[in-house]
Amino acid sequence: MRARRYVQMTWAVLLGLTLTVLAPWAWADTPPPPPTPSPPVPAVGRAWPVGTHPDVLRGWEPPATVYGRGHRGVDLAAPAGTPVRAVAAGRVSFAGRVAGRGVVSVQLTDTDLRTTYEPVKASVQKGDEVEAGEVVGMVEPTDGHCPVTCVHWGLLRGKTYLDPLSLLPPWLLHRGPSRLLPVLGVPLP
């Protein structure tokens, strides 16, 4: 009777150890919990990075997973030598080369947002304060990212990529002439 109880206790201990050791592996294939929604992006931008309303060659395509395929920014048509401007006020957090391309990053004032521009020959240095519309560099010729020369404009909150167009207010995104609509219920003069 004592031997039988010893065997049962041994099995219980082994089972407990096995579950403790194997449980994390068993749960490794379960998907992670859905991400908590990030706060909305304030429309703090006051200028396009290039031109007054450049053609968007490729829009923002968020990846399904952190390392998944996608397009983590917006490609804006711009010939080589075009001035690249800060979309909003901030401090330059990086100005240099990454993988052979010129990159400028600007940490936006009073936000947790950072914009990136590439390929850019920087005219600013890390630590410089920039205002909205201030030139941060010039477009460099590209080799294959876009069908024509372009600027890849990105927006990050921490390590999460967001749609950079969300920085711009709707009136700045609008293309074409403004139209006045009649005010209903007000007599004509």
| 126: CATH | 2.70.70.10
Asked if the structure places residue 162 within a domain, the reply is yes
Asked if the structure places residue 93 within a domain, the reply is yes
Tell me which of 25-39, 42-56, 83-97 is least confident: 25-39
Asked if the structure places residue 73 within a domain, the reply is yes
Residue 34 pLDDT > 60: no
Q: Of residues 150 and 29, which shows the higher confidence score?
A: 150
Asked if the structure places residue 14 within a domain, the reply is no
Tell me if 119 sits within 8 A of 75, measured CB to CB. no
Q: Which residues fall within 8 angstroms of residue 95, CB to CB, at 6 or more apart?
A: 103, 104, 105, 122, 124, 125, 126, 128, 136, 137
Say which amino acid occupies 76.
L
How does the average pLDDT of the chain come out, rounded? 81
Residue 172 pLDDT > 90: no
Residue 164 pLDDT > 90: yes
Across the range 112-132, mean pLDDT stands at: 96
> Domain range for residue 87?
56-173
Tell me if 151 sits within 8 A of 118, measured CB to CB. yes
Tell me which of 18-32, 41-55, 133-147, 158-172 is least confident: 18-32
Asked if the structure places residue 25 within a domain, the reply is no
pTM over 0.75: no
Residue 16 pLDDT > 60: no
Across the range 45-56, mean pLDDT stands at: 89
Q: Of residues 71 and 74, which shows the higher confidence score?
A: 74
pLDDT at 185: 74
What's the structural domain count of the chain?
1
**81: closest CA among 114, 129, 123, 46?**
123
Asked if the structure places residue 13 within a domain, the reply is no
Asked if the structure places residue 45 within a domain, the reply is no
Across the range 12-21, mean pLDDT stands at: 51
Asked if the structure places residue 85 within a domain, the reply is yes
Please give the share of the chain, as a percent, with pLDDT higher than 70.
74
Residue 180 pLDDT > 80: no
